[in-house]
């Protein structure tokens, strides 16, 4: 079934309507939530003057009651191949189940309907059945049997919203429409087996809906009004204070998680793992649909901080490092815990990105119709009574002006006045209707390859015209190359929450600098609890006597071991008489009298130039000194330097599961051989790139297995994918010259170890490129290949197969070497390249699986 599911997955987006947002790539659960919230916002607005209803329909036992014959009909209607349909139904009809009672099964039951929970095909089967309901509702609307709901003048007509089996029905609050809707649902239930439970279904009505109309709908649909705490897909739909109610729900979820844990039974490293993996994931779903109040986020931070520092079941706790510092990255002294306030903004920015760039989502169409259908997203302002989604989107819009750019192709999809297509772009309030519709392509003269100066000066002014002329990329009309809005901080050009969060952190914490002891996180073979202990030590976050005295005056700041000085970090671990004896008598033989007073400087002074083994010994010795110090304080034991040294040596050699070596998986690619003609060409290409953005590209051209030409060159590029594409382009430019002189129509086989590049060139698809900067280059290569289509083949190979080209690319990058021509003996000897293609080469070729 998994094989069948994998085969169907790429086609689901094409056959399932946009109203269904479940189990389909590119759609998510928040799309349905946002759409329903916008519908309810319009219902509560006095500007919406229609009498309308929204029904949240509960489908009873959806997976268990699905009729198999209707499933067959649905799949065949959607043009699923008959062979696949027969295979799936065969697996359903021939399955047997048993019921276990007290661990033992008693006989088998042969089901006659329903889908198995957990089966990879079940979700796809179910949404294909629900697609039949979608088509029936759309057909009824197009024939005028039902009217649906239109929230704005240019808004699409809405009749329903679906996420899997969570169904929302929309319509006018009239008796005829309710009757038609009831008939459609009743007929669908009869043929599919999916029945609506009216007891669990709930109704909402628009503000202008009369009491008589409401009663008529309630009677016709046999459903009750929704309460203030009613949820849809887990989110509270109350129009007023929904964010506050969602926040309270989140607080209860966090408290429920924490109630089952006891922080005093876990090390700080264990608590940190639970915070990052469990607690930080609890609010993600809710925060992805709306911004939560900062006061509620502070309460969540307080709950999590209490768990990290103290006992989650106690009201008071003592924090030795501010939570804001813990939420910083390790480079600037934190533990890498998410800042929930900034992370919530990063999640919300994803919605703003959708409003700017993704017009295929239904909630985006609705927002565009309600708020910026005429002026465009960048010029629209806040309006009175707008939804919280739009109000916050307008506030956060300026963040994108500094971080997005348009990659101009033809310019036909970029309005001059309503899109930030150049760096100094500003919104313009006064403009004629014709100027608002003008695109970048209309202010550029393609034949003369120059900007229309008169139009630019008239529309944007002389200063903007001068900047555009000198700095903006000129539009080009190339097949397959389209204008695209680019998020400049990712290789793909798409907004990602991770990069958005990092940008927000940098914008909000610009003055912070890297801590001098950040290198401690790079030390190997250190147990997690020791790492967190080191962080607490270097952050002055240990409950030393002096730190405790600052918080509670009754506690003495004196060291309990020597009773000579205040107990601060360097005294406790290096200057106290017992600690001195440990260091001098241990494996490292360190004298600590002349160390710096600052603990960070002292650690750096000791560990500078140390071997990995000595660094481990140093860390575990610190840990054992701390444990021995606590035994003196709380158990009245004597501080024994010999015992501390012995325990440090024993702890150091304890096996740490975190650092067990894991064998790398073997390459399971298919191997093949290629029989080429005696005079065919073979081209091996590769690139070498480093973080300084310097790249070397190289190619070797063989004819019948004999090297006839090679080339290498140095370039400056932003990422390795771009470098690989440049290597292919250099080789194609050279091979074109050879093919122009060739009258025998010889074939050319290109070999590259970059799978993404081979796929992009074969499928002529630029949707998922690893680098948005390479898009113009890829388009140019595709056009070159199309002009030679039928003579050039592309093949993905492993890295060993392109080693000669890789060595040449390395040489070009490191030494700046450049060469293009026939193979020279001296060059071949220097690079270690033979004149003929290695016979083992084609044993290394990897065929890309379909």
In a domain, 371, yes or no: no
In a domain, 28, yes or no: yes
Which residues have CB under 8 Å from 278's CB, separation 6+?
257
In a domain, 355, yes or no: no
For residue 850, pLDDT over 60 is answered with no
Domain end (from 207, 236, 265): 236
**Backbone conformation region of residue 318, classed left if phi is above 0, alpha if psi is from -120 to 50, else beta:** beta
In a domain, 739, yes or no: yes
Query: Tell me, what's the pLDDT at 459?
Result: 85
Per-residue pLDDT, averaged over 466-484, amounts to 82
In a domain, 347, yes or no: no
Residues 148 and 257 in one domain: no
What pairs with residue 797 in β-bridges? 845
> What does the DSSP assignment read for 484-521?
EEEETTSSSSS--HHHHHHHHHHHH-TT----TTGGGG
Residues 232 and 102 in one domain: yes
> What does the DSSP assignment read for 266-310?
S-HHHHHHHHHHTGGGTTHHHHTTSPPPHHHHHHHHHHHHHHHHS
What are 432-467's pLDDT values in tens digits?
A: 777 778 888 888 888 888 898 888 888 888 888 888
In a domain, 805, yes or no: yes
Residues 439 and 566 in one domain: no
Query: Tell me, what's the pLDDT at 848?
Result: 41
DSSP state of 54: E
Task: Tell me if 39 sits within 8 A of 158, measured CB to CB.
Answer: yes
CATH number at residue 692: 3.30.420.10
Query: Tell me, what's the pLDDT at 657?
Result: 43
Residues 685 and 832 in one domain: yes
What are 100-128's pLDDT values in tens digits?
A: 888 777 778 888 898 888 888 999 999 99
In a domain, 46, yes or no: yes
Query: Tell me, what's the pLDDT at 95?
Result: 82
Closest CA to 220 of 170, 182, 188, 189: 182
Distance of alpha carbon 676 from alpha carbon 817, whole angstroms: 32
In a domain, 791, yes or no: yes
Residues 216 and 269 in one domain: no
Domain end (from 465, 487, 509): 487
Task: Tell me if 313 sits within 8 A of 263, measured CB to CB.
Answer: no
Residues 315 and 457 in one domain: no
Residues 678 and 778 in one domain: yes
For residue 151, pLDDT over 70 is answered with yes
For residue 803, pLDDT over 70 is answered with yes
- Candidate ranges 81-85, 458-462, 671-675, 766-770; pick with highest mean pLDDT: 81-85
Residues 608 and 654 in one domain: yes
Residues 188 and 68 in one domain: yes
Domain end (from 221, 236, 251): 236
Residues 177 and 75 in one domain: yes
Query: Tell me, what's the pLDDT at 314?
Result: 60
Residues 646 and 674 in one domain: no
What range does the domain containing 628 cover?
A: 518-659
Domain count, the chain: 5
Query: Tell me, what's the pLDDT at 497?
Result: 93
pTM: 0.84
Query: Tell me, what's the pLDDT at 488?
Result: 84
Residues 674 and 556 in one domain: no
For residue 696, pLDDT over 90 is answered with yes
């Amino acid at each position: 079934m998994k094989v069948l599911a994998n085969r169907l997955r790429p086609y689901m987006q094409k056959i399932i309507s946009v109203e269904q947002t479940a189990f389909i790539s590119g759609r998510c659960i928040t799309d349905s939530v946002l759409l329903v919230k916008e519908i309810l916002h319009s219902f509560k607005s006095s500007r919406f003057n229609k009498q309308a209803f929204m029904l949240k329909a509960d489908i009873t036992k959806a997976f268990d009651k699905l009729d198999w014959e209707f499933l067959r009909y649905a799949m065949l209607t959607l043009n699923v191949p008959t062979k696949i349909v027969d295979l799936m139904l065969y697996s359903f009809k021939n399955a047997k189940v048993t019921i276990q009672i007290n661990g033992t099964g008693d006989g088998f039951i042969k089901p006659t309907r329903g889908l198995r929970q957990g089966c990879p095909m079940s979700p796809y089967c179910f949404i294909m059945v629900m697609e039949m309901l979608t088509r029936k509702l759309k057909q009824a609307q197009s024939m005028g049997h039902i009217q649906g709901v239109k929230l704005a003048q240019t808004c699409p007509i809405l009749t329903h919203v679906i996420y899997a089996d969570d169904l929302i029905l929309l319509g006018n609050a009239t008796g005829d429409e309710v009757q038609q809707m009831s008939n459609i649902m009743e007929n669908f239930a009869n043929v599919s087996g999916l029945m609506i439970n009216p007891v669990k279904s709930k109704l909402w009505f628009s503000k202008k809906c009369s009491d008589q109309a409401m009663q008529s709908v309630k009677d016709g649909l046999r459903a009750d009004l929704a309460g203030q705490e009613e949820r849809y897909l887990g989110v509270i739909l109350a129009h007023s204070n929904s964010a506050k109610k969602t926040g309270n729900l989140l607080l209860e979820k966090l408290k429920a998680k924490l109630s089952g844990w006891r922080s005093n039974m876990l090390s700080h490293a264990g608590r940190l793992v639970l915070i990052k993996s469990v607690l930080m994931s609890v609010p993600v779903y809710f925060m992805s649909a709306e911004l939560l109040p900062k006061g509620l986020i502070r309460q969540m931070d307080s709950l999590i901080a209490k768990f990290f520092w103290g006992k989650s079941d106690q009201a008071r706790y003592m924090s030795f490092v501010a939570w804001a510092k813990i939420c910083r990255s390790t480079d600037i002294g934190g533990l890498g815990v998410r800042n929930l306030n900034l992370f919530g903004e990063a999640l919300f920015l994803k919605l703003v990105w959708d409003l700017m760039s993704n017009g295929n989502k239904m909630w985006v169409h609705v927002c565009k119709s309600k708020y910026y259908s005429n002026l465009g997203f960048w010029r629209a302002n806040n309006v009175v009574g707008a939804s919280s989604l739009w109000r916050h989107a307008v506030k956060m819009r300026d963040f994108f002006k500094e971080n997005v750019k348009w990659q101009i192709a033809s310019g036909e999809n970029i309005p001059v006045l309503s899109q930030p297509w150049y760096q100094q772009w500003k919104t313009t309030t006064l403009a004629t209707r014709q100027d608002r519709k003008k695109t970048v392509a209309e202010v550029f003269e393609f034949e003369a390859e120059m900007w229309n100066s008169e139009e630019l000066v008239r529309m944007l002014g002389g200063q903007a015209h001068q900047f555009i002329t000198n700095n903006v990329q000129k539009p080009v009309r190339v097949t397959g190359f389209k204008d695209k809005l680019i998020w400049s901080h990712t290789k793909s050009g798409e907004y990602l929450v991770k990069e958005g969060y990092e940008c927000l952190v940098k914008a909000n914490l610009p003055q912070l600098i890297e801590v001098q002891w950040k290198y401690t996180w790079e030390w190997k073979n250190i147990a997690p609890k020791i790492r967190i202990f080191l962080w607490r030590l270097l952050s002055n976050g240990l409950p030393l006597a002096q730190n405790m005295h600052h918080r509670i005056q009754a506690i003495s700041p004196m060291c309990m071991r020597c009773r000579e000085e205040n107990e601060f970090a360097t005294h406790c671990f290096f200057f106290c008489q017992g600690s001195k004896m440990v260091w001098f008598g241990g494996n490292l033989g360190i004298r600590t009298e002349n160390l710096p007073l600052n603990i960070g400087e002292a650690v750096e002074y000791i560990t500078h130039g140390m071997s990995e083994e000595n660094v481990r010994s140093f860390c575990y010795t610190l840990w054992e000194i701390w444990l021995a110090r606590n035994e003196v304080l709380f158990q009245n034991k004597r501080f024994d330097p010999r015992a501390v040294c012995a325990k440090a040596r024993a702890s150091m050699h304890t096996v740490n599961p975190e650092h067990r070596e894991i064998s790398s998986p073997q390459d399971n690619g298919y191997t093949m051989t290629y029989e080429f003609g005696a005079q065919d060409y073979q081209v091996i290409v590769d690139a070498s790139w480093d973080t300084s953005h310097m790249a070397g590209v190289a190619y070797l051209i063989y004819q019948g297995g004999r090297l006839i030409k090679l080339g290498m060159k140095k370039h400056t590029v932003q990422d390795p994918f771009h470098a690989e594409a440049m290597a292919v382009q250099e080789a194609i430019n050279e091979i074109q010259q050879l093919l122009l002189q060739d009258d025998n129509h010889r074939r050319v086989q290109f070999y590259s170890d970059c799978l993404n590049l081979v796929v992009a060139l074969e499928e002529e698809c630029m949707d998922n490129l690893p680098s948005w900067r390479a898009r113009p280059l890829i388009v140019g290569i595709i056009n070159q290949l199309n002009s030679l289509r039928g003579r050039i083949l592309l093949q993905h190979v492993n890295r060993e197969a392109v080693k000669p080209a890789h060595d040449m690319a390395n040489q070009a990058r490191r030494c700046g070497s450049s060469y293009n021509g026939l193979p020279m003996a001296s060059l071949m000897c220097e690079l270690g390249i033979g004149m003929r293609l290695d016979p083992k080469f084609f044993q290394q070729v990897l065929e890309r699986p379909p």
